[in-house]
Structure 1
Amino acid sequence: MANPVWGVDSAAPVNQQLLDCVKREFGAPKVWGRYIKTVPGAADGLTAQEVSFIRRNGIKILPIYSDFRQATGYREGQTAARNAIYHAGRLGIPRNVAVFANVERFFEVDAAWIRGWVNTFYTSDYKPGIYHDPIEGGFSTAYCAAQAEDEKVRAHTILWSAEPEPGVSKASEAPAFKPQSPPCEAHVWAWQYGRDADTCPIDTNLFSPLLLSHLWT
């Protein structure tokens, strides 16, 4: 694989102060993961002004949808996907960009929800992505069951892994790209290898070059 690309994600909006902090403490990010809808107490949603600022600085945007607290049930997966697709369209995110469901390690998750998420995206302008923890929690079992039930899950889903977690680092000191995967075939093209940096409110990530054509440039 070609060299991975270094980047960050944040619940906080990207402004000059935060960008300067990241560049000073860690390096220049090529990708920035940001939430497409505000969730009070958890994340600020992207605004048109912020999008312009990020893109003007030559940074690709990885869109995240997080307005749900569990990931169970086919209809619930459909509903989350429809809402994510709506907000992607509202922001003007172009076709073929992946939108990542934020499935935290402590969420309940089942195969039906994953199939609902993927199948709804399959008929949309966007690609289904899922942020997950393949070790802690039930995601791996649910994902492998979902792809056994529906080939579209394996073929079209892009995964963003939260394991292993060696810790936050500068771009120049990032680990080799070796994200943990579920124990079945999976396109794990993103890896959040460090969470909750002390000096800037960001997490640090590596991204496969395969993902770059599915980011907002």
Structure 2
Amino acid sequence: MAYYWGVDSASAVTKERYNCVLTNYGKPLYWGRYLTTVQNASDGLTKGEIELLRNSETKVLPIYNNFRKAVGYREGRVVAQNASFHAKRLGFRKGTPLFANVEKFFEVDSDWLRGYVDYLYGSDYKPGFYHDPVNGDFAAAYCKAAAEDPRVADQSILWSAEPEPGATKRRNAPRYKPVKPNCRANVWGWQYGRDATTCPIDTNLIDGRLYEML
């Protein structure tokens, strides 16, 4: 299986920021960006950024983070609906995975995860979860949700934040070895380096199957 190197950032992609990554780390094959502006957390992705990235032959990996906990089936559906609305507004094509940003300090339950998956299953997009499989409630909630509904394991794409050996240049990326939950899971993304020193980015490796969906 081929693995592809790329980055993500909470701040907007400008020509300067792109060139910073290009010069110091290598060419990113994709760039993870947040679909909406959340105060003190993220700049919302714009059509101008998408154009800049496409012109640079860099794909866009969409992340949704406008929620503070992941509890309750109905709430999971609402977050998925909002993520889907913004992905459509920005012109993301059918079949693109939308990654809910589930932080390690969030309260998480299996109902919320099932709600998120259920809503997106009937939409134009695929469910994805950025998560920490070691710290916090995600791994246990995910395995419970997958046991309750096999569709969770079938449909979801997981983007793991562990382990964290640290940011590297593209050519020095580690071998693909993200931590996975103790149950069936498509762990197709790994954020292996956070808060790079030279440019404000995180570094990632993703599975070729995810890369093709972007």
TM-score range normalised by the length of the shorter chain: over 0.9
| Alpha-carbon distance in 1 for matches of 2:33, 2:96 | 13
> What's the counterpart of residue 46 of structure 2?
47
2:64 aligned partner: 65
Shift of 1:213: 2.1
Map 1:58-97 → 2, pairs under 5 A: 58-97=57-96
Separation (CA, whole Å) in 2 of partners of 1:158 and 1:6 = 17
Structure 1: distance between partners of 2:144 and 2:33: 29
Tell me by how many angstroms 1:24 deviates.
1.2
**Cα distance between partner residues in 2 of 1:155 and 1:125:** 16
Asked if structure 2 preserves the Cα contact closer than 8 Å seen for 1:36 and 1:88, the reply is: yes
Match of 2:6 in 1: 7
Cα distance in 1 between the residues matched to 2:193 and 2:203: 5
Q: Aligned with 1:38: secondary structure?
A: coil
* Paired amino acid for 2:110: A
Counterpart CA distance in 2 for 1:174 and 1:106 is 27
Where in structure 2 are the equivalents of 1:1-217 lying within 5 Å? Answer: 1-2=1-2, 4-215=3-214
Q: Secondary structure at the match of 1:87?
A: helix
Q: Secondary structure at the match of 1:112?
A: helix
Q: Report the alpha carbon displacement of residue 40 of structure 1 after superposing the two structures with TM.
A: 1.4
Q: Is the 8 A contact 1:97 1:213 kept in 2?
A: no
Amino acid at match of 2:90: L
Rounded Cα–Cα distance in structure 1 between residues aligned with 2:40 and 2:153: 33
TM-score (normalised: structure 2): 0.99
TM-score norm. by structure 1 comes to: 0.97
2 CA distance for matches of 1:212 and 1:23?
A: 19
Separation in structure 2 between the aligned mates of residue 97 and residue 171 of structure 1, nearest angstrom = 24
TM-superposition CA deviations, 1:54-73 (whole Å, max 9, x none): 11100011000000011011
Partner deviation per Cα, 1:131-157 (whole Å, 9 max, x = no partner): 000000011100000010011101000
Q: Separation in 2 of the partners of 1:205 and 1:49?
A: 23
What RMSD in Å do the two structures reach over aligned CA positions? 0.6
Deviations 1:160-213, CA, capped at 9 Å, x for gaps: 000010011111111000111000010000000000111111000001101112
Letter matched to residue 103 of structure 2: E
Take 2:134 and 2:10, find their aligned partners in 1: how far apart are those partners?
Answer: 23
The whole-number CA distance in structure 2 between the counterparts of 1:56 and 1:187 is: 30
Percent identity reads 56
- Could you tell me how far apart the structure 2 residues matched to 1:129 and 1:112 are? 15
Q: Any unmatched runs of 5+ in structure 2?
A: none
